[in-house]
Each structure stands twice: as structure tokens, then as C-alpha cells.
Homo-oligomer: A and B are copies of this chain.
Amino acid sequence: MKYCSDCGAEVQWRVPEGDNRLRSVCPSCHTIHYQNPKIVTGCIPEWDDKILLCRRAIEPRYGLWTLPAGFMENGETLQQGAARETLEEANAEVGVQQLFALFNLPHINQVYMIFRARLLQPSFGASAESLEVRLFSAAQVPWGRLAFPVIKETLALYYRDAEDGGFRMHSGDIVRVSEQPRSYRIELHA
């Protein structure tokens, strides 16, 4: 942020009075511009013993597989956002159920919240955001061609719970530890 979005003056990068963090502060209208993490909301759409994955038609990770998920919008709930993203990316309608995975990605200021969900009917298809949309059995999941570490970890937990005979909520941190080559540390909370 270089300019105040309220009055157009150049902002300063300083700690406001009574605060302890650097913020963009407007010297003209005195607005403090806070910046906070964004929520990515999504789901694991289930049909019988299969789950729905989308092959990305957009960067980053063009051509790789992922769960339907995206930035939560103002005015909606997490569950409405997960259903909207599934409709937009997979042309599929879901009933969103319990929260399954909650991951902090502090290096990019994101929180991922992935719910379990039921496909309302076995109807789905490609979209502007997905080259291809398919149902996968456990044996068919393309583990080597998944788009993001958070998706791989979520699906690994999902199939571990499925084998154990019961789903529970999981929480953890995914932190980038190196840029080149890209590597991540994954810490699950107790």
C-alpha cells in the first residue's frame, strides 16, 4: 500500500499510537489501514466412496489437481463459500458438512478451512477454472500431481481417517522453510 484508499494521500509505514505493529497510516486523514490474513474455504465432495478433484485451468499450478476451494467473500458464510467455489470450479452442487481440516499458512497470510461435503447428484464438469473434473477412488488419487502441500496433507489425513473408520477434525501449520528448492514444514496440532 502506497496511497490512502480513503483520501489518496501517500501513506506512512509506522507503528500507530497504542499499537505495537507497523501499519500503513495516512498522515492526512489519519486512517490506519490494517491488513489481515485471508480465509481459503473449500471442501472434499464425496459420492459413494469417491471424491471429486479439479484439474487447475489457472496459475499457479496450472494442470495439477486440487480440491474445490477459494477465497471466502464478504457477506457469505464459510460453508456458503465452500459450496460456491465447488459450483464455480466443478459445476457441482454440494451439501457442506463438518469442518475436516484447518491449516495455518502464515508465510502467505492464509488460513485454509476444508469441510467434508456430499455431492447432491453425480453431476459435475470442467469450468473456466478447471480443465477437468473427476471422481477418484482412494487408489486413483494422483498423489504426485496434486497442486499444493495443504491439499496433499488434507487428503492424506482424510484417507488415514477413512481407514481408521472415523473422521475427526485436524489442525496444523504448513510453513515454507525454503524458497529454492521449495520446501515446507508440516506440523499437526495434538
Give A contacts to B, CB under 8 Å. Answer: 1-8, 10-11, 18, 21, 24, 33-39, 71-80, 97-99, 102, 104, 106, 109, 111, 128, 169, 171, 173, 189-190
Q: With A and B bound together, what is the CA distance between A74 and B11 in angstroms?
A: 19
Are B6 and A6 in contact, with the CB atoms below 8 A? no
When the two chains form the complex, which single residue of B2, B34, B99, B106 contacts A6, counting CB atoms closer than 8 Å?
Answer: B2
Most buried by B among A4, A18, A71, A106: A106
Residues of B within 8 A of A33 (CB): 5
Instruction: For A36, give the chain B residue with the smallest CB separation.
Output: B38
Task: Say yes or no: A39-B5 contact (C-beta < 8 A), given A71-B34, A106-B75.
Answer: no
Residues of B within 8 A of A39 (CB): 36-37, 39, 111
When the two chains form the complex, which single residue of B34, B72, B98, B128 contacts A37, counting CB atoms closer than 8 Å?
Answer: B72
Q: With A and B bound together, what is the CA distance between A129 and B75 in angstroms?
A: 29
Are B171 and A99 in contact, with the CB atoms below 8 A? yes
Are B6 and A3 in contact, with the CB atoms below 8 A? yes
Question: Can you identify 6 A-B contacts, CB atoms within 8 angstroms?
Answer: A1-B6, A2-B5, A18-B128, A37-B74, A79-B104, A99-B99
Are B79 and A189 in contact, with the CB atoms below 8 A? yes
Q: Shortest Cβ distance from A24 into chain B, in angstroms?
A: 8
Are B102 and A78 in contact, with the CB atoms below 8 A? yes
Residues of B within 8 A of A21 (CB): 73
Q: With A and B bound together, what is the CA distance between A50 and B74 in angstroms?
A: 36
When the two chains form the complex, which single residue of B4, B6, B77, B128 contacts A173, counting CB atoms closer than 8 Å?
Answer: B77
Given contacts A1-B5, A34-B71, A77-B106, 4 further A-B contacts (CB under 8 A): A2-B6, A3-B3, A8-B10, A98-B171
Instruction: Please give me the 9 A-B residue pairs with the lowest Cβ-Cβ distance, nearest first.
Output: A77-B104, A3-B8, A1-B5, A74-B109, A5-B5, A36-B38, A8-B8, A37-B72, A3-B5
